[in-house]
Structure 1
Amino acid sequence: MLTNQAKSDAANLRSDAGLASALRVSLARLNRRLRRQATVNSLTPSQFAALAAIEYHSGITPGELAELEKMQPPSMTRVIAALDERGLVVRTAHPTDRRQVTVNVTEAGSALLKEERRRKEAWLTQRLKELTAEERSVLRAAAPILEKLSRI
């Protein structure tokens, strides 16, 4: 038999606002738990996101990266400088516009991304093993939908 709180929670999830609230809380909590899996002296969330975007969009300009990551250009300049200082990215002259530079990930940057992803995925794999087969099936169906939400 459901408790009054469980009935209220279930009813709340039937509305878009209730679903939005529940997803926001759950995803924020999951994100915090995943961030705790980062290595010691790792990157800030902004630095990690920028490094991953640079790896995916090889040869991106700082302005393009700032737009992609929804950051102000001066903030992105500081993020890139911190990554460059750690040897994780390299800035090179833009091939057609001498006023600009492009940014690429170094081998050290790729290795750091790989290790961070491995640690986080290992932690999440363990948590998934604690779920039922039906719960994992629901998550498999939800994964593309969550990806779509992240891109809208």
Structure 2
Amino acid sequence: MRPAGTLWRAGGPACALALFLAATPVLAVQPDEMLTDPVLEARARAISRDIRCPVCQGETIDDSNAPISRDLRLIIRERLVAGDSDAEVVAYIVERFGEGVLFNPPARGVNLILWLAGPALLVAGLAVALTAARRRARPEASLSAEEEARLREILKE
């Protein structure tokens, strides 16, 4: 019988590969949701990667197991089968759920503030850093002869 550690060493790369593959994300799309037409299915997947789950917020509807995500995936596929373009499908979903379901909302209206906040904060941070660097680089003012004499007098006391 082998000691416990030798099994890992014996399987080495195969075990590591198995662990890596087990850690990859599993999509929530069920086989019964998938379209038989590979082109339409690819379009549906592309659209669903840009739609945020209304319940989970941090996941796409492709990754979420929430019932609303399943409903949205089915709606996307129904609209594509009906002949809608990708933009029409996204507009249909946004009309019903609002722009909050988009991972990349358009840069207009209130969303413009979100789009501009990051670059504005970056510029402000660079300005603060530049100001601090300039202050450190300035030479310190030297004392006048009168001030030096007074300082020597204070230090002798």
Name the TM tier (shorter chain): under 0.3
TM-score (norm 2): 0.23
Higher strand share: 1
With a CA cutoff of 8 Å and minimum separation of 6, indicate the structure with the bigger relative contact order. 1
TM-score (norm 1): 0.23
Which has the larger Rg? 2
